[in-house]
Chains A and B, each alone.
Chain A
Amino acid sequence: MSAAAMMALGAFGSATGGFTALSLAMDRHWQDAYGRGSEPGPGRRRLLRLGGSLALLVSLLACMALWGGPKGWVAWAGILTVAALASSLTLTYAGRTVARLGWSAGAAAVLLLGAAVLARVL
């Protein structure tokens, strides 16, 4: 896989992970994932919000690195759209698996972006 493809997929992965984390910080979607009546503790909620926002920021940085200024913004908007659709539909149709989706998307993003950065540095 080329470094550019890794960077693009990484941007998508971190956006998906980020949106999933942000959605789990909301009561309704936490219940989609962990059943009625449960809710995230205040510490966890803060962590989810912080981690989710950071992941979205990382995907923006990856878009900027890959496409450069103006194009990067356009690409980021498109990636956010598709990533948010992916987390929303997972919440609706496979709520129990959404946490797994978030973690695997995030982990894939870390691996891909790490590899892309390494490929660029080396």
Chain B
Amino acid sequence: MKEGFRQSMAWLHTWSGLLVGWILFMVFAAGTASYFRDEITLWMKPELHAAAGAPVAQAVAIAHAQQALERRARASPRWFITMPTERDPTVRTAWVPERKKEQPAGERPKRRAFGSAVIDPATGQELGMARDTRGGDFFFRLHFDLHYMSAIWGRWIVGACAMFMLVAILSGIVTHKRIFKDFFTFRPRKGQRSWLDAHNLSAVLALPYHLMITYTGLVTLMFMYLPGGVQAVYQDRTDSFYAELGGTGSAAPKPSGERVALAPLGPMLAQASAAWHGAPVGRVTVNLPGDARATVAVSQQDGHGIGNNLPVMTFDGASGRLLSASGDSGGAVATRGVLYGLHLGHFADPLLRALFFVSGLAGCAMVATGLLMWAVKERPKHFKARADGRIGFGLRLVDGLNLGAVAGLLVAMAAFFWANRLLPGVMPQRPEAEIRWFFIVWGVAALAALALPTRWMWQLQLALGGLLFALVPVLNAATGGVGLPASIGHGMWAVAGFDLVSLLLGVFLLACALKLRKAPLRAARLAGSTA
């Protein structure tokens, strides 16, 4: 009975893993990149690299932001200010455009484009010339919304894949007979055995991470997957549920029409920061700036607790008086906040984020080796069954999809960064153009892979991806960014880190491509071994 159970789990593990593996690799790769979302965005705006120098006091930065907004968005009903951090050294401001009078009452207002400006915190100057790009947000959205389809569909697909992933992880634990005996074991140059070792090693050593990230990933979207509870209580007023969840309160204040100058924001930030034992302010939201009923909501910067529910203090905009302070939430909300925060890794200081990044890479390796292993296991059967040495349709399809999903994606990710630098700095719909290049390259790579799923194609795509990644530091220095020697010299680790990680990844991919050159010998051994 026990053996039967284990075998059925092995079957479940194989098929649940294979069917969603191609999407999961993308989810893992893009999700892992998202740990450095801010750094990626900064790198993709080389015009801002120079501002990444010395940190600026919050009081100075907020004063400059307030001046800029009073100049640019005096009549706006709401301002958003994101304070500079080590990872994103600029002040980002955004505002809701002025409400049009002819809006028909009762009709839901269409979402209009927000105004936005990026400000140098030290000088108050607008850094308006930064190129338009989705930056790291592209990978972040891609890993749960997909692209070229509605976000809702994307989330259902990714959610289903994540559910399969959870099944694959749990059934994988049951199937793996030698978790402790093989804990440290990797035997290279042994064909199928090596693939299994690599799969086991990347899975077992980062197992806590894999379980955590898959489970918390499902939790981040739980209200979409399981809407019943919310709908039963809130019926058709689910909007107010999310408002209460977010702690923003359900009703936005109505303007009084009386103009009163907004009090300086600096002292409010200082008061909030003092109440949080010195933790800096992350975001500032000003409702009805310049109105007598203005309010200012100040929330703490990410990274000073594990949860995703940040404490907020609300001030009266005209007088600067403290109105309310939030921060204590009920058990369920706090639990969800912690799970959400764990998934995002927002709490992480640089070292913790690096550990998450390495574990994420282990996840990529686990999915990729799992996919490849299916093909490696299947191949000898085909060689035996068919005298002409040709392989069947199913295996050929899996080979092609593996190649396109793993190597092709890496080429496309590199191409995205190259498009960011090589497209003209100012052009209509620039962010969309970069994204289009990502998908064009991926599409071409996938088609080539399906047409010719051979070892040579693996070599070609790995070498191409490796070259593109390894040359990223050169590209950066040549197209207006701060080059590697200068960025290291000035301690701009956000910029230098991107270059260094790309270089390492590129060298690794090139090494993989080179290793495949010595392949024919091993291919023969591989075909012969049916261990």
Contacts from A to B (Cβ < 8 Å)? 8, 19, 23, 26, 28-29, 67, 70-71, 74-75, 77-82, 84-85, 87-89, 91-93
Contact yes or no, A84 B338, CB < 8 A: no
Q: Is the CB of A81 within 8 A of B186?
A: no
Task: Tell me which of A78, A80, A89, A93 contacts B352 (CB under 8 A).
Answer: A78
Q: How many A-B contacts are there with CB distance less than 8 Å?
A: 65
Q: Is the interface of B mostly helix, strand, loop or mixed?
A: helix
Instruction: Specify the chain B residue showing the minimal Cβ separation from A76.
Output: B208
Q: A79–B355 contact, CB under 8 A? A: yes
Contact between B347 and A78, CB atoms less than 8 A apart? no
Q: Which 3 A-B pairs have the closest CB atoms?
A: A78-B355, A77-B208, A23-B184
Within 8 A of A (CB), among B189-245: 201, 205-206, 208-209, 212
Pick the residue among A75, A77, A87 that contacts B184 (CB under 8 A). A87
Residues of B in contact with A (beta carbons under 8 Å apart): 181, 183-188, 201, 205-206, 208-209, 212, 306, 338, 342, 347, 351-352, 355-356, 358-359, 362
CA of A89 to CA of B205 in the docked complex: distance in angstroms?
Answer: 12
What's the minimum C-beta distance from B163 to chain A, rounded to whole angstroms? 23
On chain A, the residues within 8 Å of B186 by CB distance are 88-89, 91-92
Asked if B359 contacts A26 (CB within 8 A), the reply is no
User: Which residues of chain B are near A87, meaning CB under 8 Å?
Assistant: 184
CB distance B185 to A71 under 8 Å? Answer: no
Query: Is B362 touching A88 in the complex (CB atoms < 8 A)?
Result: no
| A78 & B184 in contact (Cβ 8 Å cutoff) | no
Complex Cα–Cα for A70 and B184 (A): 27
Does B358 contact A81, Cβ atoms closer than 8 Å? Answer: yes
B530 to chain A, nearest CB (A): 23
User: CA A28 – CA B205 in complex, angstroms?
Assistant: 18
List the A residue with the shortest CB-CB distance to B352: A75
Q: Nearest CB to that of B355 among chain A residues?
A: A78
- Which residue of B has the minimal Cβ distance to A5? B351
B360 to chain A, nearest CB (A): 11
A8 to B186, CA, bound (A): 27
- Measured CB to CB, the closest approach of chain B to A84, in angstroms, equals 5
Question: In the complex the two chains form, is B208's CB within 8 Å of A85's CB?
Answer: no
- With A26-B184, A84-B183 in contact, do A78 and B358 touch (Cβ < 8 Å)? yes
Complex contacts, B183 vs chain A, CB 8 Å: 23, 84, 88
